[in-house]
């Protein structure tokens, strides 16, 4: 019987136990595994996840199987390892360049390479057509809707009011998803005031889609609740009457193995999403396509540091918002930028004695 170890940033300890797998960190997986299989989408975080440095951590004689996405494995590094014997064999059906008309991997005796067929077989196409016909029949005869791309359903009357808050819910989830690296255990979504009277099912789906999209790029409002449930993440919904100065807002709280994060937001009359609270610290920040988020001590020099770093690297600041819990306590800064903050400059920001963390963020809200 094969002992299965797994690395998944969303996998909780309890869910791993239910699945019968041992949860480990990525470097430990590389060091221990005899067979390594990839089951992940291609994102900025997973691109080239297996390169020469990763292969060097593996056992001599390891076997690598990639039937997920081309670009997860650096093919030149894999070829070199196959030739040296470090990697004993590989099974590949996805490639860096597709369609893969020629690839050095094809001629290697210790490689099994097959076409990236996906759903392109005759049988798969017939099954898809059959499923579509059955689902249309169910809808026309019984009124049952399944696998609809526009679910959860939204009526024509509620759509104009709901639309900006769907985007708000998505960006709240996206914020937490981009700053959270530990496995998520619990999610609480609070609807306060007017948002509690809306179609919260759609808002929950949008929140969850934004939350896991940084790790699972091909997620949407339909699949997000299912994917969250599969990962053993507990989702709670709370509704309450208006309790503050805002007519209505949404607050997202996420618990991981080690900490709790929270963020709240609302929409004003212009329909644009705004962050109104992060980590319990109040602020008023418009959401932009490119942003920089820092947590820091409330000390002199932070504004100057961030402004200087952006200026020296040709990044214009469109908006700069600050917040703190008390004088000299914990503080946050949120910069709305005209261009992405350079990844290689983050180390310069993080090295400042008063900076606790710095993250560059991206939101699908379009340019201002």
CA dist 107 → 30, 61, 103, 251, 297 (Å): 26, 19, 8, 55, 58
Query: What distance in Å separates the CA atoms of residue 301 and residue 278, rounded to the nearest whole number?
Result: 21
- The residue among 247, 167, 228, 235 whose CA lies nearest residue 202 is 167
- β-strands 317-324, 281-286 pairing: unpaired
39 included as an active-site residue: no
Q: Kindly name the residue from 17, 18, 98, 134 that is annotated as catalytic.
A: 98
Active-site residue, 69 included: yes
Map residue 332 onto helix, strand or coil: strand
Report phi then psi at 254, rounded to 5. Answer: -125, 130
Q: Which of 103, 26, 110 shows the shortest CA–CA distance to 65?
A: 110
Which position among 15, 69, 231, 352 bears the catalytic label?
Answer: 69
> Cα angle at 63 between 57 and 66, to 5 degrees?
100
Classify residue 343 by its DSSP letter. Answer: G
DSSP state of 11: -
* Helices assigned H by DSSP within the chain: 13-19, 26-32, 52-56, 75-84, 122-142, 159-179, 200-212, 224-230, 302-312, 346-350
- Give the span between the Cα atoms of 171 and 255, in whole angstroms: 18
Q: Which of 32, 63, 116, 261 is catalytic?
A: 116
Sheet with 281-286, strands from edge to edge, namely 234-240, 184-193, 248-256, 260-267, 273-278, 281-286
**Where does residue 7 rank: exposed (0-12), middle (13-18), buried (19+ CB within 10 A)?**
middle
Token pair for 176: 């937490």
350 is catalytic: no
| Helix (H/G/I), strand (E/B), else coil: 27 | helix
Catalytic positions:
69, 98, 116
């Amino acid at each position: 019987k094969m002992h299965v170890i797994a690395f998944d940033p969303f996998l909780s300890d309890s869910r791993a136990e239910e699945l019968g797998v041992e949860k480990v960190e990525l470097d430990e997986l590389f060091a221990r595994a005899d067979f390594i299989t990839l089951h992940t989408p291609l994102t900025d975080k997973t691109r080239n996840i297996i390169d020469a440095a990763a292969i060097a951590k593996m056992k001599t004689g390891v076997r690598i199987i990639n039937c997920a996405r081309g670009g997860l494995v650096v093919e030149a590094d894999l070829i070199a390892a196959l030739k040296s014997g470090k990697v004993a064999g590989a099974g590949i059906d996805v490639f860096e360049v597709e369609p893969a008309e020629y690839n050095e991997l094809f001629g290697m005796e210790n490689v099994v390479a097959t076409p990236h067929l996906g759903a392109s077989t005759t049988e798969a196409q017939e099954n898809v057509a059959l499923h579509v016909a059955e689902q249309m029949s169910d809808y026309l005869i019984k009124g049952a809707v399944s696998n609809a791309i526009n679910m959860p359903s939204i009526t024509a009357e509620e759509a104009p009011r709901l639309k900006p808050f769907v985007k708000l819910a998505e960006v709240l989830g996206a914020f937490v998803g981009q700053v959270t690296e530990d496995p998520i255990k619990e999610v609480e979504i609070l609807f306060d005031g007017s948002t509690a009277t809306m179609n919260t099912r759609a808002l929950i789906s949008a929140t969850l889609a934004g939350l896991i999209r940084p790790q699972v790029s091909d997620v949407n409002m339909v699949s997000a609740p299912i994917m969250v449930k599969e990962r053993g993440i507990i989702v709670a919904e709370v509704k309450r009457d208006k309790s503050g100065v805002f007519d209505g807002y949404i607050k997202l709280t996420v618990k991981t193995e080690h900490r709790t994060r929270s963020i709240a937001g609302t929409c004003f009359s212009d329909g644009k999403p705004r962050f109104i609270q992060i980590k319990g610290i109040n602020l008023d920040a418009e959401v932009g396509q490119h942003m920089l988020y820092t947590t820091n001590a409330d000390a002199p020099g932070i504004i100057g540091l961030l402004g200087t770093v952006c200026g020296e690297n040709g990044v214009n600041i469109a908006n700069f918002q600050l917040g703190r819990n008390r004088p000299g306590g914990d503080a946050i800064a949120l910069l709305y930028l005209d261009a992405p903050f350079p990844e290689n400059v983050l180390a310069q920001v993080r090295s400042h004695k008063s900076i606790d963390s710095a993250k560059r963020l991206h939101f699908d809200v379009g340019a201002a």
